[in-house]
Each structure stands twice: as structure tokens, then as C-alpha cells.
Chains A and B, each alone.
Chain A
Amino acid sequence: MENHSIKNLDKIANLARQNIIKVTTEVEGGHLAGSLSCIDILVVLYFKVLSHNPAMPDWDERDRFILSKGHAAPALYTVLAMSGYFPEEELYTLRKINSRLQGHPDSKKLPGIEISTGSLGQGFSAAVGMALGYKYDKKNGQIYCLVGDGECDEGQVWEAAMFASSYNIKNITVIIDRNRYQIDGETEKVIKLEPLKDKWNSFGWETMEIDGHNLNQIQEALEKARGTRTVIIANTIKGKGVSFLENNNKYHSKPCCREECSLAIDELNKKLEFI
């Protein structure tokens, strides 16, 4: 855990966005918009909150992060590379043959991936299992799990939520990337999630609601949640950071073309000057 200032994290988040956009454009694939909605959360986790060691990914006392919404793999790979798990150039092998950077995270291939995810609802159960294992061993580490809002459609999410409170697990933090979209459209139009906070409360979880792009709020919430069983509903914007990508569900699983990519990078570079 390094002592980055918020200003520094802001820069890292901006550069991470640039990486995600450039890489997905270059390899012509990857879930762009949902990676941009959660990248601020991942940056705060990997550069501020998580107790981890990129040189020793299997360090026994580490905090753990599980990306249950595995399709945001470009965001996870970007923070793993930027924090030193592997060289940033390797990001450009994303989704290509013989790459360690599979379309969805593969724990057999890439150090730093705690468990394979991609089929929704499953990473959260595994995260609960890891939290139970830490509790059983009386370890201090915290388990962090990022769940998509659309992912909460899955019944398994609620099975796991019930299990965690039934076993009084208090070393797990769930962050919901509440960008309000899933593939087929707005979450509330596809299948109603609200009142989402009440649902989690009634399943025995502490809840917080934050602006998922405010680095201060993210950090504060994550620190406050340590040692508890809390869901942080992070209100986010799909495609956040680039004007023409924001709330544009066309980019759910489609990257920018080359022209759009250079426009996006220009826009992010301008923002970078003001940080």
C-alpha cells in the first residue's frame, strides 16, 4: 500500500482510462464502457487500499480483490499492470491467442487473478468463500468484490449474500458498480433492481451509497467498511471520462474505432493537464 495523494490517484485513473481505451481499440475487443465505470474504484483499491504485493501475488496475508463482473477484465488488467504485476506492454495481448490476458479473467493463467470469473454471480460466492477461509484462519485480510448492478439479477448473488450474513462474515466488502445499464438496456427497464439498498440491508449487510467516481468518497467508504460486512453502492456512469462514451450503451462490449480513440485520448489528456 503506497501513500498516493488523491491528486496522484486522479492522474493514475486518467492514465488507466487511456490504457483501457487504447488497448481495446488496438485489439478490437473488450468491454469498454463497464471497464470505464469501475476503473476509479479499482485504482483506489490497488493504489491505496489493498494490502498486496505485486512481486508476491500469493502472499499469505494479502487482502484480496475479486472481479465478479469478469467482463470488466480490461480495467482489472490495467490496474494489475500499472501496479507492477506484469509489464504494461503485455496489455496489448488482451484477448489474443496465447495471451495470459483472456477475454475474462483466468486464474490459471495470470498471477494476481484470485479465481476465474466471467459467468455472472459466481465471483461473489467465491469471494464469500475466501472471506470464510480468512475468518476460519483468523487472518486480518479483507476480501473485496466488485459486482455489476446487472449482475444482481443472478439468484446466486442473493444466495451468497444470505450465506455471508448467516455465518456472520465480517471481512468482506462488496462494491456494486451501479452504472444503471446492462447489455439489453437500462437495468430498471430490463428487470427492476430497486430498492437495491433495502434489498442488501434486508439480507443482513451494512450499506453505503457513494459517488463511484469521487476518489475521496471511494477511499473513505472502503476504509470505513474494513472489518465489516458492507455493500458500497457506487453510483457510476457507464463509459465515464469521455464525453461521447458516457451513458452510451453502444460501447458495452464494443471498443472505440481509431478516430474515436484519438478523440477520447485527446479529451483525457486535456483533463490530465488540469489535475
Chain B
Amino acid sequence: MDLKSTRDAFGEALVELGSENSNLLVMDADLSISTKTCLFSGKYPERFFNAGIAEQNMVGVASGLSKTGKTVVVSTLAVFAPGRSYDQIRNTLVHSNCNVKIIVTHAGLSVGKDGSSHQSIEDIALSRVIPGLNVIIPCDAVETRAAIRMAVNTPGPFYIRLGRPEVPVINKINYEFKLGKGVVLREGNDITLIGCGIMVFEMLKTAKILEENDISAEVINMPSIKPIDKDLIRNRARKTGMVFTCEEHSIIGGLGSAVLETIEEEKNIYVKRIGLEDTFGESGLPEELFEKYGLSAEKITEKILKIYKKERSGYDC
């Protein structure tokens, strides 16, 4: 499988969309080399505005720019948007229904050695709770490109969460992003795995290991956190009766919570959220952090096997 970071795909997508749409402007807050908006600024310097290390003003300026008929992408690290600029995103950008796409990189633990100050583990919760803000988390470079194309061509505010490291390319090149739709990557009958972002590949690995243990797991990529694919979640949850959600985020308020909200009126469905259990991360290599905080395929499998044995009587591996 090819490896590519979602932030690299983001930078390339901006260049591509910039050539098609002269109305597209991009802003960054002194992190254009990290976020890869530097690819756009190199090609279209007159359409790029660096706000300096001032995320709150960047969000406000982008909002105002959009009200003069522009499509604006703002970028920084996930920890600074929505983190640093939360009130500006809520009260100016989304409240005024601005045509601004907040596309952030370096989300979650996989930031690695920079440590917990730069590992955003709350941003899914913070973004999806704002009324009218669409929230997207692509799982690979192909989906990133497709999601950004969709967001730039869809009026209104979007939050798109990307990562720092290279990740395997799962989707085929002609993949088309559908807002509000989940994607079944693997069919299965015993349990349902639902995840987003970097965790999608971990889930696919998990499903393989589970198969060796005679558990048939279906894997659903859920890139559209808001709006979320309620029908798919309900149908699959009813089918297997056992759902595991995986996210590089706190288990409080993220994808897992969104899934739980979707099936709150369903009976006899077991749901377990896998993610950070109300703790900050720390410095380390991404793979070390995934191991320590229970996000690696091996750790996820361990957790699932333990629960599966307890919940499904008669199962013995």
C-alpha cells in the first residue's frame, strides 16, 4: 500500500482547486510549511494571506473575506483551531454561516514527539457541537483530496481534520466523497467497527486479526462526523448488535459519542468507544503512543476479544 500524509494531499488539493477556482483564497497562521498550504502560496502568492501567529484574527479575517464573495480556506494545527480560536469560529464564522473551510492538520496523538500541548484530542467534540458546522475526518490521502473538493464546492462552514504522519492509501483514486455517508470497507456478521481518520487502517488490521480468532468484523469508515450516516449506523448496529468505535480523540464527545447519540433509542445493542480515556497524550513516537494508549490494532483486538468473550456466551477462542 502506498503511504502518504493527509496534509500532503491537502496541499496538493489546494493547488488543484486553486487552478480551477480563482475565487479560492487561503490563509494560514505561520504554519504553512507544516500544514502544506505553502504549496498553494508558492503557486498563487496573491491569493494567500499569512495572518502570523494570530489564529483568532485569522478566523475573523477569513469570515469577513468570505462575506465579499470569496471561498476561504483557513489552516493551522488542530490544537489551535478550534482550540485557540473557538469563540471566533463559533460566534463569527459559523454564526454568520461563512463560506470558510477550516482545514487543520496535526490532529491527535500521531503528532508524536511534540507532546500533549500539540496533540489535539478534543477538537471533534468542540467542532461538532457547533450548530451548522460540518465536520469531516478523512482516512487517507485520496479521501482527503475528495473531501476538500466537496467542501470547497459546497457553500457554508466546514471543519476538516487531518493528520501529520504518512498513512496507507486505502481508497481508489476515483473515490468520490459523499457528505453524510459512511463507507463499508469490509463486510462482517459478528461485530461492527466504526472509525475515522488514521484509525480506519488500524480497524482493517484489527478485522484481520479478529478473523483469525473466528470473529467476523465489518469495518465502516465514517469520515462525515456531521452530518452523520444515521441509517447506516442503525442498520449495521441492529445487524450485529455489537459496535466498537475507534478514534484518535477523547472518548468524550467524539465519533463514539456521535454513534451513541445515533442509536440512543435502539434496544439490545452493545457499544464500546475506543479512544483516549479522559487523558492527555505525551511525547513519543506515534506507534509507541498508539500502543500505550490502546489505539494500535493489537491493543484494540485485545480489548474487543475480552469484551466479546464476556458478552457472547458460547464463544471461546
Contacts and interface: CB of A to CB of B under 8 A. Distances in A.
Interface of A: 106-108, 114-119, 121-134, 136-137, 155-156, 159-160, 162-163, 166-167
Nearest to A107: B96
A42 B276 CA distance: 52
B95 A106 contact: yes
Contacts of A126: 60-61, 63-64, 67, 92, 96
Interface in B43-73: 49, 51-52, 54, 56-57, 59-70
B61 A129 contact: yes
Interface of B: 25, 49, 51-52, 54, 56-57, 59-70, 87-88, 90-92, 95-98
B95 A129 contact: no
Give me the 8 closest cross-chain CB pairs, A-B, nearest first.
A129-B64, A125-B60, A133-B68, A159-B57, A126-B64, A129-B61, A159-B54, A119-B91
Contacts of B98: 115
Contacts of B87: 119, 122
B77 to A, nearest CB: 17
Nearest to B91: A119
Contacts of B63: 115, 125-126, 129
A129 B91 contact: no
Contacts of A123: 92
B60 A124 contact: yes
Contact of A116 (B25, B49, B57, B92): B92
B191 to A, nearest CB: 43
5 contacts: A126-B92, A127-B64, A129-B60, A129-B67, A137-B69
Nearest to B60: A125
Contacts of A125: 56-57, 59-61, 63-64, 88, 92
A163 B51 contact: yes
A269 B63 CA distance: 42
A119 B96 CA distance: 13
Nearest to B90: A119
B51 to A, nearest CB: 6
Contact of B61 (A108, A155, A163): A163
A220 B119 CA distance: 52
B312 to A, nearest CB: 49
A114 B67 contact: yes
A71 B53 CA distance: 29
Given A159-B57, A163-B52, A132 B65 contact: yes
Contacts of A107: 95-97
A133 B56 contact: no
A129 B91 CA distance: 16
B60 A128 contact: yes
A131 B49 CA distance: 13
Contacts of B64: 115, 125-133
A162 B54 contact: yes
Contacts of B95: 106-108, 116
A44 B91 CA distance: 28
A116 B91 contact: yes
Nearest to A160: B57
A162 B62 CA distance: 15
A35 B61 CA distance: 26
Given A156-B57, A163-B57, 11 more contacts: A107-B95, A116-B92, A122-B56, A125-B60, A125-B63, A129-B61, A132-B64, A160-B61, A162-B54, A166-B52, A167-B49
Interface centre among B61, B64, B97 (most CB of A within 10 A): B64
A126 B56 CA distance: 11
A37 B61 CA distance: 27
B214 to A, nearest CB: 54
A155 B65 CA distance: 20
Contacts of B49: 132, 167
B304 to A, nearest CB: 44
Interface centre among B51, B56, B67, B88 (most CB of A within 10 A): B67
Contact of B68 (A137, A156, A162): A137
Contacts of B65: 129-130, 132-133
A132 B68 CA distance: 9
A128 B92 contact: no
Contacts of B68: 129-130, 133-134, 136-137
Contact of A133 (B52, B60, B69, B88): B69
Nearest to B64: A129
A27 to B, nearest CB: 22
Contacts of A108: 95-97
A116 B67 contact: no
A115 B88 contact: no
A115 B69 CA distance: 13
A52 to B, nearest CB: 15
A108 B68 CA distance: 15
Contacts of B66: 129
Nearest to A119: B91
A171 B9 CA distance: 37
A114 B56 CA distance: 19
A35 B49 CA distance: 35
A113 B203 CA distance: 47
B61 A115 contact: no
Contacts of B51: 159, 163
A230 to B, nearest CB: 18
Nearest to A139: B68
Contacts of A156: 56-57, 60, 88
